[in-house]
Structure 1
Amino acid sequence: MALDLHTVTSGQRAGMVDRLTADGVLTDALLRNALLHVRREVLLPHAYVRVSGPGADPIDWRLLDGSHPDDRQEWLELIHSDDSILLQRDGEPLDALPRGPVTGGHMTSMSTYTPATVEALQAMELGPGQRYLELGPGPGVSLALAAAVTGPGLATGVERDGHMTAFAQRNLDRLSLGAAVVEGDALEGHKARAPYDRIHSGIGVTSVPEPWVEQLAAGGRLLTTLVTRTPSWPGQLLVSRTPAGTVQAVLRGRPRGYRPMLGYRWLSALDHRARIKANPGRPRPTRLTPPPDDAYGFWLAAAYLAPGLVRDFQSETMTLVAPEDDSWAVAGPDNGTVRVHGSRDVWAELEDVHARWKQAGQPEQYRVDLRDSSGGQHVTSRAGPKALAWALPPLAVVPRQVP
């Protein structure tokens, strides 16, 4: 006799939790219990799969419908995998999406892949009874997990897209977790239920919106991704308010982060890939060995101090591109040489940032003043007179899309 869907998905969730635990990602017992019991198949009833390769335009997709027997096994494996789940193209309504192939459009909503969700929620140090705010919850996966930990009526999400708001609320109601999603501008937070013990932003921002800090309770924690124009080196910002009301903020480089708000355009190395392969550039000597990928403090500084660069992680050797300057640098073929092309010496800039980073003590984290004397937000390594320092760009304002 065939197993019912509930039994199958319970087994899938258990396998997912075991994998996250074995990989050292999942360590929190309360979150582990939430992952075991929150039914992801309710929150993610469909999923787009990209069929086209990189650079294709228009893009070919295939929509998996979890209720269709021919899609069910692939859909179940996908939503319990470590992949991000693609849910919405171009802000489309989500009530009756057609199953099967579809061409065109770009993804406007997705669920974050599970290891990143787990890492973020664990960094929040969630506990029962906390008031929780999720900014940009999308389909509500992390919101549902938070609600399962904090308790009914304490978890709220603010979602920009009206179709996604209705979709997420309907599915969350089926789980009876007492979580609410309201339509609104996530940059404004949600004053009606403030203050919050925990605030989590599922969208990347260039600097921290003032309402978020204002709505953070004493003893509270706020977690967000700080984005620059490059997707290659994100920063994770943890803001805490002491019981006495003092605000402290620490920025760390991370291997991954949340995508910026809808409408914010990242730089891309894709259009230059073929040209770089055909002409890597003129060779010159260098004393800088390509820095390791896990030198997160350095790469984070480079995102701000050598702006406009993006890395092609698909290249055989380290390749950095300044798309707007039609310039690039390709490391190798050995550690003593680098090939450069264009008017901008990308590698020279990297050498300079690396030297300054070493002089500053190779910081792995930075202090952020969220309201300095100039009214801006300022970052420093706290490493004495040779400290690395920079100002955060103003908050990127994205016009609201009209359906």
Structure 2
Amino acid sequence: MPSDPHQATSRRRADMVDRLATDGVLTDALLRDALLRLPREVLLPHAYVRVSGPGADPIDWRLLDGSHPEDRQEWLDLIHSDESILLQRDGEPLDSLCRGPVTGGHMTSMSTYTPGTVEALQVMRLGPGQRYLELGSGPGVSLALAAVLAGPDLTTGVERDAHMVAFAQRNLDRLGVGVRVIEGNALDGHQGRAPYDRIHSGIGVPCVPTAWVEQLAPDGRLLTTLATRTPSWPGQLLVTRTPTGTVEAVLTGRPRGYRPMLGYQWLSALGHRARVKADPGTARPTRLAPPPDDAHGFWLAAAYLAPGLVRDFQADTMTIVAPEDDSWAVAGPGDGTVRTHGPRDVWAELEDAHARWEQAGCPETYRVDLSDDTGIQHATSGPGPKALTWTLPQLTTVASQLPCPRSPASRTADRCHP
């Protein structure tokens, strides 16, 4: 490793870029150059590492300080990895954090995992001279890359947390890339600098806010995660506006997506894990072999056609739980049976959803109609009576976006460690 710290971080960036290119994630030459030029350590000067295992309450963390010699190597490895970087607990101020162990609290801001950032920027085809809006911009990694690609003074971020706004703006100013970060509700976009050629949402939403579509310029592209109630089965929605003003939207199933907007509650199988292991349920024959993990078009449809389900990826065999109905299904292993428990036959619903998906032609993408004057948005796999169709949840059904209060555990356990 080079002794000069600047050479060391440059080498880390080069290794990261080479890895992304080798894995087939990074294909755009301009974005490759931007990644090599951007000193991400300026934007990510610290990082939380979770110490506790799943289900721990309160959670134990360790804060890495990139400026501290004992933390530096681990911090450099982390911020140049493919992992999300955890930056803020419970909306805390970010100008006086203390390195070392911390107990309590939940993460309220993080930097997106790098392959996700790269994919998003490539899908949007951001280029020189284009106005760019980032919604839920966090520490500003995507913003900085977008500014390198588009040019100075064309890139705007909207972030709800005042502490994160100040933190990101200060670090972005140090880079001199010409970016503005606005404190506000990402669901409103930012009318002051509209229209935008490219809009990217770093938060998942159940449907597309009207303001986002209205602020999209002709020939514009808008990219967001459509959050379902299960973190297992998200969708990626690409909205385009033609030169004549027509809006088109295509939804694709994805293995990962952005965390949902504040107030949108994911389901979790964690509270049922011990009970499922103790009593998997009653065995019965099934006509459905466990669908493969990469059948993203099916799993996305299942999130809507059989709502309220979540998969436990820590289980030995495919386990699907309906936590609000105290029901679950445990498939396999490969013997033509499934075990079910509870008042809701979870596996029968998946069997029905899979049969409908096959009858529709095993679609991998769906069209979303954003033109309904009532604001209701519909998804469909195509024309004909066998098409899969569903209605997206409206934003008004989601709880109000209120900041998470700091837990008593996090207030009493925050101490600086040398």
Q: Aligning the two structures, in what range does the TM-score lie when normalised by the shorter sequence?
A: over 0.9
Query: Residue type matched to 2:403 in 1?
Result: Q
Unaligned runs of 5+ in 1: none
Query: Is the 2:2–2:8 Cα contact (8 Å) retained in structure 1?
Result: no
Q: For 1:295 and 1:235, how far apart are their aligned partners in 2?
A: 12
How many positions carry a matched residue from both structures?
A: 403
Query: Is the 1:261–1:398 Cα contact (8 Å) retained in structure 2?
Result: no
Q: For 1:317 and 1:383, how far apart are their aligned partners in 2?
A: 36
Correspondence for 1:96: 96
Correspondence for 1:274: 274
Q: For 1:193 and 1:334, how far apart are their aligned partners in 2?
A: 56
Correspondence for 1:128: 128
Q: For 1:332 and 1:7, how far apart are their aligned partners in 2?
A: 52
**3-state SS of paired residue (2:156):** strand
Deviates more, 1:21-30 or 1:261-270: 261-270
Q: For 2:216 and 2:15, how far apart are their aligned partners in 1?
A: 36
- The reply on whether 1:392 has 2:392 as its aligned counterpart is yes
Query: How far did residue 166 of structure 1 move?
Result: 0.3
Residue deviations 1:28-65 (CA, integer Å, cap 9, x gap): 01110111011110000000000001100000000000
| Compared CA separation, residues 375 and 86, structure 1 to 2 (3 A) | closer
Q: For 1:385 and 1:275, how far apart are their aligned partners in 2?
A: 41
Query: How far did residue 373 of structure 1 move?
Result: 5.7
Residue deviations 1:73-130 (CA, integer Å, cap 9, x gap): 0000000001110000000000010110000000000001111111111111110110
- The reply on whether 1:21 has 2:21 as its aligned counterpart is yes
RMSD: 1.2
| Compared CA separation, residues 402 and 375, structure 1 to 2 (3 A) | closer
Deviates more, 1:255-264 or 1:193-202: 255-264
Q: For 1:139 and 1:335, how far apart are their aligned partners in 2?
A: 49
Query: Is the 1:361–1:383 Cα contact (8 Å) retained in structure 2?
Result: no
Correspondence for 1:189: 189
Correspondence for 2:317: 317
Correspondence for 2:414: none
**3-state SS of paired residue (1:170):** helix
Query: Residue type matched to 1:64 in 2?
Result: L
Correspondence for 1:401: 403
Query: Residue type matched to 1:315 in 2?
Result: A
Residue deviations 1:221-242 (CA, integer Å, cap 9, x gap): 0000001211110000000000
Query: How far did residue 178 of structure 1 move?
Result: 0.4
**3-state SS of paired residue (1:371):** coil
Query: Residue type matched to 2:400 in 1?
Result: V
Q: For 1:5 and 1:98, how far apart are their aligned partners in 2?
A: 23
Query: Is the 2:262–2:401 Cα contact (8 Å) retained in structure 1?
Result: no
**3-state SS of paired residue (2:385):** helix
Residue deviations 1:153-207 (CA, integer Å, cap 9, x gap): 0010000000000000000001110011010111000000000000000000011
Q: For 1:236 and 1:387, how far apart are their aligned partners in 2?
A: 20
**3-state SS of paired residue (1:110):** strand
Query: Is the 2:90–2:404 Cα contact (8 Å) retained in structure 1?
Result: no
| Compared CA separation, residues 397 and 206, structure 1 to 2 (3 A) | same
Correspondence for 2:47: 47
Query: How far did residue 374 of structure 1 move?
Result: 4.7
| Compared CA separation, residues 345 and 201, structure 1 to 2 (3 A) | same
| Compared CA separation, residues 300 and 2, structure 1 to 2 (3 A) | closer
Unaligned runs of 5+ in 2: 406-418
Correspondence for 1:118: 118
Paired residues for 1:253-264 under 5 Å: 253-264=253-264
Deviates more, 1:369-378 or 1:151-160: 369-378
Correspondence for 1:35: 35
Correspondence for 1:336: 336
Q: For 1:170 and 1:3, how far apart are their aligned partners in 2?
A: 28
**3-state SS of paired residue (1:139):** coil
Q: For 1:22 and 1:365, how far apart are their aligned partners in 2?
A: 27
| Compared CA separation, residues 370 and 335, structure 1 to 2 (3 A) | farther
Q: For 2:359 and 2:2, how far apart are their aligned partners in 1?
A: 64
Query: Residue type matched to 1:119 in 2?
Result: E
Query: Residue type matched to 2:167 in 1?
Result: F
Query: How far did residue 264 of structure 1 move?
Result: 2.1
Q: For 2:347 and 2:211, how far apart are their aligned partners in 1?
A: 39
Q: For 1:374 and 1:129, how far apart are their aligned partners in 2?
A: 35
Q: For 2:383 and 2:319, how far apart are their aligned partners in 1?
A: 30
Query: How far did residue 334 of structure 1 move?
Result: 2.2
Q: Which has the higher contact order (CA 8 A, sep 6+)?
A: 2
Correspondence for 2:164: 164
**3-state SS of paired residue (1:385):** coil
Residue deviations 1:200-219 (CA, integer Å, cap 9, x gap): 00000011000000000000
Query: Residue type matched to 2:220 in 1?
Result: G
Query: How far did residue 333 of structure 1 move?
Result: 2.9
Q: For 1:353 and 1:335, how far apart are their aligned partners in 2?
A: 21
Paired residues for 1:162-311 under 5 Å: 162-311=162-311
- % same residue: 79
Query: Is the 1:360–1:383 Cα contact (8 Å) retained in structure 2?
Result: no
Q: For 1:297 and 1:333, how far apart are their aligned partners in 2?
A: 23
Query: How far did residue 265 of structure 1 move?
Result: 1.7
**3-state SS of paired residue (1:384):** coil
